[in-house]
Structure 1
Amino acid sequence: MSDIPLEHVHVAPDDAPENAPAVFVLHGRGADEEDLLPVARHLPDELHAISLRAPDPLQGGYTWYELDLSAGGLESSQPDAADFRRSLDLVAESVDAATEAYALDPDRIGLLGFSQGAITSLSLVLEDPDRYAWVAALHGYLADAHADADPDGIEGKPVFVGAGAGDRVIPESRSAAAADRFEELGADVARGSYPGGHGIGQEELADLVAFVEAQAA
């Protein structure tokens, strides 16, 4: 739909009523809006899935932002500040527009992100906790720009953080630090460490599905 700022794929439930719950899906660096659809299809049938495409082309896919590597290598990178701000705003605007366009329940909107999408999702829920019912962040971290955020409305927020014990792109320790921070803020955090690298294995997928099913119940 042209009034939704970001290109996207919308997968609607069969015979979906108005005011149905939804998950907005944010892919990783170099991927596209199709990348996480196989994961989204494992989620509860009553959920609308709106998979957003990042705004900037990159190596046959798309990226949410360029990387600031001034602190060292990829494993200690941060989002470029201007790019990150733009993408956060574009996602928020797209969520609002799609909620209206697809007659979604504004009180049952979740976020599911992988890698850059996870980093973006964690920052979005800190910027507007009341907008999102839950967030699942796989193989991401909490950006420095939001590390000290302490918003009203985050207490009790369901947050799932998945990490790879062998992840060399985003080390497990960075994901764990994000989970720790959300616990400090009073969020209801579920976390998992999985034996693989920078990808979603079957054990992580099963835990993600169980987490989302609990929110959709």
Structure 2
Amino acid sequence: MSDLPLEHVHIGPDDPSDEPAPAVFVLHGRGANEEDLLPVARSLPDGLHIVSLQAPNRLQGGYTWYDLDLTGGGLHQSQPDAVDFKRSRELIIESIDAAVEAYGIDDDHIGLFGFSQGAITSLSLLLDAPDRYAWVVALHGYLPDSHSDVDPDGIADKPVLLAAGDADEIIPAARTEAAADRFETLGAAVEYTSYAGGHGIGPAEHEAVVEFVTKQVA
């Protein structure tokens, strides 16, 4: 295991070569860990490096990318704590740079796959540096206030898959849909679907993720 700023799991392509290969960086949700999304990540195309990062802050039996700011009206209107959020994004960027060097990753073909807090973070990272990422999958997340008015160059035609649960009691589907609308306004190539169910990844959603990522790395 190579030394990255964040603890992580790396799974290399099934048929490794001396040539750099594309990668997906996986960002788990609040209270989970770097193993949580591996069942989905392992079903993505075999030619990808999978680098699943662990959030830096302990939370009960798991980890979190940031504390919640609940001053806006409780969980359904929560926002990332600004200091934590900035620090985590910096650590992710440093970890991506280190992994590119350590694992022979193609620097021009990096995708982000996040769930819940990981989705919120992934969408924000894309707006921070659109040219850095080839595509983003963001499940059951939203666009935080810190990035709601960001309008960077390089978003046009960027593939972004967003998905929500119509019975999600943690992050209402309306917040995810609003993020999809914002990225559409910015000109991204957005795919958005609300699935039956709550705060989790069901079979149909899982299948949509695999289909989307397969198109991006074909």
Query: How many residues align structurally?
Result: 217
Distance in 1 of aligned mates of 2:167 and 2:155: 30
Distance in 1 of aligned mates of 2:3 and 2:60: 27
Unaligned segments of structure 2, at least 5 residues: none
TM-score, reference length from structure 2 = 0.98
Distance in 2 of aligned mates of 1:99 and 1:164: 33
SS in 1 for 2:161: strand
Q: Per-residue displacement from partner, 1:25-54 (whole Å, max 9, x unpaired)? A: 000000000000001011001011000000
Aligned 1:22-37 pairs, distance under 5 A = 22-37=23-38
Match of 1:39 in 2: 40
Match of 2:15 in 1: 15
Q: Percent identity?
A: 68
Go from structure 1 to structure 2 and tell me whether the alpha carbon gap of 1:80 and 1:149 turns closer, same or farther (over 3 Å shift).
same
Match of 2:143 in 1: 142
Distance in 1 of aligned mates of 2:43 and 2:14: 15
Match of 1:91 in 2: 92
Aligned 1:98-113 pairs, distance under 5 A = 98-113=99-114
Tell whether the 8 Å contact from 2:15 to 2:47 is kept in structure 1 after alignment: no
RMSD of aligned Cα (Å): 0.8
SS in 1 for 2:30: coil
Aligned 1:49-64 pairs, distance under 5 A = 49-64=50-65
TM superposition shift of 1:189:
0.3
**Runs (4+) of structure 1 moved beyond 4 Å?**
none
SS in 2 for 1:46: coil
Q: Per-residue displacement from partner, 1:42-97 (whole Å, max 9, x unpaired)? A: 10010110000000010110000000000111011000000000001000111111
Distance in 1 of aligned mates of 2:60 and 2:90: 24
Tell whether the 8 Å contact from 2:111 to 2:134 is kept in structure 1 after alignment: yes
TM superposition shift of 1:144:
0.5
Distance in 2 of aligned mates of 1:120 and 1:203: 23
TM-score, reference length from structure 1 = 0.98
Match of 1:214 in 2: 215
Q: Per-residue displacement from partner, 1:164-203 (whole Å, max 9, x unpaired)? A: 0000100000000000000000000011110010000000
